[in-house]
Homo-oligomer: A and B are copies of this chain.
């Protein structure tokens, strides 16, 4: 025990630690050691290991501190030797910083105490020695403030209380009648130190020790104690972090960017974090401290000449003024810049990713204070991952793993500028149902949306909820806003399919169709008023917030191709029209996994025929109407199948209940009656007969098709005759016919017979055949239970996880808005199960159904065609559940392709590699 190593030194390329020692040294300590090892100019220091922290709690505080003493003293000596300064000396005083450093940064932990090693005597001596009295006294003032607050605990007690130190500063500034800290004189700074010390004593009964070593031990103990602080414990509890991780303590020599005009401080990115271009970008300030760069009091300068010139152009500053007032580091300190640029290369080579670094130049000497993977935009993420792969720095697999799928959204949909949002007035919030940004004028009716859009006006369609009748209007709108419905309501699903921004379930909107207005609280918004929707957050803004359009870069295209080469799970698209199918193909869909035939039924020229069918009194009447629909459907299928040549197209037979095709208001019903030459009463009778209390659990899907087999016959006829036409024209087509809502073996058996019989007829008619597959949706819990009975009858299963989630939870996605927000808020549910598959419940059905189906049918293809097919967490789950494909909205395809690839890549990683990765991420 006495011989256990607790202290690891670094500096002068002789670090005892390295980046793999994160568990022992914490994230910061391991990284400082690593930078030092690879030759970066890191101020010397040492790390007290997390084991010391654990010993402190396990073996007692004092015994551990006793054990530490010699090792810490040795650490200080090492720093002194490298820095050529002495801790506690008045001639060449060494100043230190003390920071906590757990495996991952943690709120509630002690942050930083700077400038340890100063006292009333040393500060005077240091001022004299450097000739920089202001630096000395400002540093001392800051030390007293930080030590008093962080180590001695003089902090505001109540949330609305002013910080006691800031209060003193304000008092002095008021007395001097100045506003900026910088306007305080050296004597003011001296007064501050005196008053700080007095206030500390008065309030805590404690004093800042004069002995620098006592200061250091106070700092180390404060770090250890903060590990068991209330907020830290609470944070660990919520995030499932064990108490025995412990924290490390980092003690490091101070460097100063504010000693003279030969000093500077700055931050830089090794590549452009906005675009991903391979440019060195960053900002710096001469004779300044790190916090000054971000404080915004002085205008920071660009580090590279190129960057500086670009900046000046945008800021409308002449080259002359730029050169004289805002020179780049490249110009101001060319040697140091060259050194920094070398560091940049070294860092990228070493960390194989774009880095965000902090540096300080003290009297012409460069110090690197920190490096870490740089935050970046979606665009930069894609470009950097691809470039690094092309440059040979990272493997294909790694480049794919560098993509954060959700971040791709901003590349695929319009977005707002963040700064525009800061000034926009938020009206209300709903569910972020479909990503994107939209701005336009309010309309309340789908027909108006079409008319206004035709007249060139951008519109936002605002509805209580949408229905299939509204589809054309939705398509014409820039965005959709509904007061009811959840993440998988009609509006949400259709909008996502269209790649269009939508917000649903905005419960605070009171819509008044009659007066064409909606109300939020007391504020009224009328037809024609401008509003803006943020589909990423669900925020609704007043007025016109500008949007910018996306474009798919070649980098993204290329990276997606790499992704596909790594995947096991294929990505197909949900697409109902030739246009959708084209989009899907452009986004790289490997086929259509769900083509909803009923969506074709709503176009004006067709809905009349469909209604004739729905209103028919008998089979003969239905067949007459279906005969009229046949050529239209055939044309639909021919177009879609042609677009998707050489790829499978899964066509779902008619799914919704028939009443969805009838209007609900009397006027429309009277029109239909007139149009079809029947009485209004007859229409009404049928509407009443078709009415359902719970349409989700009603007469639809194969239940309808088994009641009216002629509907299936017509649809299969259309699919296969279209296929034969295409075959004759040399187009390779792969139709797959999908039966919806199966819950009973006999239901499926009966439908398959109708399909096979119809196929035989068509094939006989043309004396030719096409390959086609027959499969079933698995969207009813009972279908999962009997998966082994039905799997032998079909070629594929497609999990309809939307409906499966509805039935498994007993949740109606149309009504869930009443309690889901409360459930999420109270933590009853962690996620909306319609957005991300419920792995413990619904997911179990998917896994079990897949396994049971494949067990009895080797050739069974299994996929998912619910909205979950485009959700990253869900896709990962489907990969693990050994599904063969996911099908999602065209606009989610890029995301799905990356997640599919990542799932396959991570599965291949050895357990060891996963452990290391987990440790790194922790």
Q: Contact residues of A with B, CB < 8 Å?
A: 510, 685, 692-699, 703-704, 706-707, 741, 743-744, 746-747, 750, 779-782, 785-786, 789, 803, 806-812, 814-815, 818-819, 822-823, 826-829, 838, 840-842, 844-845
Residue of B nearest to A811 (CB): B697
Give the nearest-CB partner of A658 in chain B: B818
Q: Are A696 and B693 in contact (CB under 8 A)?
A: yes
| Chain B residue nearest in CB terms to A693 | B814
Report Cα–Cα, A818/B701, bound state, in Å. 13
A809 pairs with B782, CB closer than 8 A:
yes
Q: Is the CB of A829 within 8 A of B744?
A: yes
Q: Report yes or no: A785 in contact with B693, Cβ–Cβ below 8 A.
A: no
- Which B residue's beta carbon lies closest to that of A780? B810
> Contacts A782-B842, A828-B744 given: A698-B812 contact, CB under 8 Å?
yes
- Chain B min CB distance to A804 (Å): 9
**Bound-state Cα–Cα, A741 to B747, Å:** 29
Q: A692-B812, A743-B809, A807-B810 are in contact. List 17 more A-B contacts (CB 8 A).
A: A692-B815, A693-B695, A694-B697, A696-B810, A697-B806, A699-B819, A741-B810, A743-B808, A744-B828, A746-B826, A780-B809, A780-B810, A781-B807, A782-B808, A782-B810, A782-B841, A807-B808
Complex Cα distance A841/B845, Å? Answer: 13
Report yes or no: B743 in contact with A819, Cβ–Cβ below 8 A: no
User: Given A782-B809, A786-B840, A808-B785, are A696 and B694 also a contact pair (CB < 8 Å)?
Assistant: yes
In the complex, what residue of chain B is closest to A706 when comparing beta carbons? B828
Q: Using Cβ atoms and an 8 Å threshold, which residues of chain B touch A826? A: 706, 746, 750
By beta carbon, the residue of chain B nearest A511 is B688
What residues on B are CB-neighbors of A706 within 8 Å? 819, 822-823, 826, 828
The answer to whether A815 and B743 have CB atoms under 8 Å apart is: no
What residues on B are CB-neighbors of A828 within 8 Å? 706, 744, 746-747, 750
Q: Are B707 and A819 in contact (CB under 8 A)?
A: yes
CB-based closest 3 A-B pairs: A697-B812, A694-B812, A693-B814
**Which residues of chain B come closer than 8 Å to A842, judged between CB atoms?**
782
- The answer to whether B841 touches A785 (Cβ under 8 A) is yes
CA distance A707 to B746 in the complex (A): 41
Q: In the assembly, what is the distance between CA of A695 and CA of B695, in Å?
A: 10
Tell me the number of copies of this protein: 2
- 8 Å CB contact of A693 from B744, B780, B786, B812: B812
A819 to B706, CA, bound (A): 9
Residues on B with beta carbons closer than 8 Å to the beta carbon of A685 = 510
Question: Given that A706-B828, A823-B706, A840-B785 are known contacts, is A803 also in contact with B812, CB under 8 Å in the complex?
Answer: no
Could you tell me the distance between the alpha carbons of A782 and B784 in the complex, rounded to whole angstroms? 13
A853 shortest CB reach to chain B, Å: 16
With the chains together, A828 CA to B781 CA distance in Å?
Answer: 18
CA distance A808 to B809 in the complex (A): 10
CB neighbours of A779 from chain B (8 A): 810
Which of B696, B704, B789 is close to A697, meaning CB atoms less than 8 Å apart?
A: B696
Given A822-B707, A828-B744; A697-B785 close (CB under 8 Å): no
Residue in B694, B781, B789 whose CB lies within 8 Å of A815: B694
- Closest Cβ of chain B to A42, distance in Å, is 48
Cβ–Cβ contact A746 & B827, under 8 A: yes
Chosen A-B contacts, 24 in total, with CB atoms closer than 8 Å, are A692-B815, A692-B818, A693-B815, A694-B695, A694-B812, A694-B815, A697-B806, A697-B812, A697-B815, A699-B818, A704-B819, A706-B822, A707-B818, A744-B823, A746-B826, A746-B828, A746-B829, A747-B828, A750-B828, A781-B807, A782-B808, A782-B809, A785-B844, A803-B810
CA–CA, A224 and B514, complex, Å: 82
**Chain B positions within 8 Å of A811 at CB level:** 697, 743
CA distance A908 to B770 in the complex (A): 59
Q: Tell me the minimal C-beta distance from A546 to chain B in angstroms.
A: 35
